[in-house]
Amino acid sequence: MTNTIDIGKFVSLRRQELGPGANEITENIERASQSIHRWLQYCQYHYFNLVKSTEAVDLAMDRVSHYRRKGENVTVRYVYEANIIGFLNSLHALLDSFPYLLNLFIPKFMSSDSKSIRWGSDFVRKYSDCIFYDELRDFLTDQTFNMVKGYVNTSKHKHLIRIVNTFAKLDFEEFTYLQPVVEENDKISYLKITVPQQGAIEFVVNCHDALIPKFFELCNRVISAKDVNSEKHYSK
């Protein structure tokens, strides 16, 4: 999978298509695409700080004392917990802002402020005539993406999901999330899934190494689908 994205392409291609008279639309696209870029940088910041704060000596000292690393005014537990939730919150915000950007880039709703512009089967179905529809639906049903949503929504609306230091690694406690599933009739249903205790660092690494590149692939697929020389540039 690719690990790069030219986020500015959303702006330049839409500007070419609309011409100089649509400043408000292109300004909104620019703000939305810049926001996605910043959320990516926040993810990177939290990811690398998390890696630095969870070395074997940090986990061992965290178990036996209220350990503070040099130069920090909170214990190492708060450091790695803050970076885990900071990474996942930033990733969730990044991914949740994509439908808004996509609708600005390829409009399917009369109002860009419609509450229907969010990840869900109805939103994705709006793009069923586009050549990137399969990738869009596949991302909607991606297990890791939906686990991120479940983790963040539980932490935001209910309670923080506790993290267990086993000396050898960090584990999330059990939590639940809703998993979209494509049925035989091509409709999408939602199953309530319980995630057993699992490795926290391993999950964050999987998000960083697999889910983010998958998002890059989707963005690049959407960008490449727009041929400004054709009226049906993105249709199948």
pLDDT greater than 60 at residue 111: yes
> What is the sign of the dihedral through the CA atoms of 37, 39, 45 and 49?
negative
Which pLDDT belongs to residue 230? 45
- The two three-digit tokens of residue 130, written as one number: 């586009």
Query: Using one digit for the tens of pLDDT, what is the confidence trace for 38-83?
Result: 999 999 999 999 999 998 888 888 888 888 888 888 999 999 999 9
How far is residue 76's CA from residue 79's CA, in Å, rounded to a whole number? 5
What does the pLDDT average to over 103-119? Answer: 90
Average pLDDT, the chain: 89
Q: What is the pLDDT of residue 227?
A: 57
**Residue 165: pLDDT above 90?**
yes
Residues contacting 202, CB < 8 A, separation 6+ = 169
Q: 120 vs 64, which has greater pLDDT?
A: 120
Structure tokens at 63: 């178990």
Quickly state the pLDDT bin for 117 (edges 50, 70, 90): very high
Percent of the chain topping pLDDT 90: 67
Whether residue 112 is predicted with pLDDT greater than 90 in this model: the reply is no
CA separation for the pair 89, 157 (Å, rounded):
13
In whole angstroms, give the CA distance from residue 15 to residue 110.
Answer: 19
pLDDT of residue 81: 96
| pLDDT above 80 for 236 | no
Whether 2 shows a pLDDT value over 60: the answer reads no
Q: What percent of the chain has pLDDT over 70?
A: 93
Question: How many Cβ atoms are within 10 Å of 141's Cβ, its own excluded?
Answer: 15
Minimum mean pLDDT among 8-17, 128-137, 140-149: which range?
A: 8-17
Does the pLDDT value for residue 231 go beyond 90? no
> In this structure, is the dihedral angle defined by the CA atoms of residues 205, 211, 216 and 217, taken in order, positive or negative?
positive
Contact predicate 179/153, CB 8 Å:
no
Give dist(CA 118, CA 109) in Å, integer.
11
pLDDT band at 26 (very low <50, low <70, confident <90, very high): confident
Across residues 202-228, what is the average pLDDT?
91
In this structure, of 78-87, 116-125, 180-189, the range with the lowest mean pLDDT score is 180-189
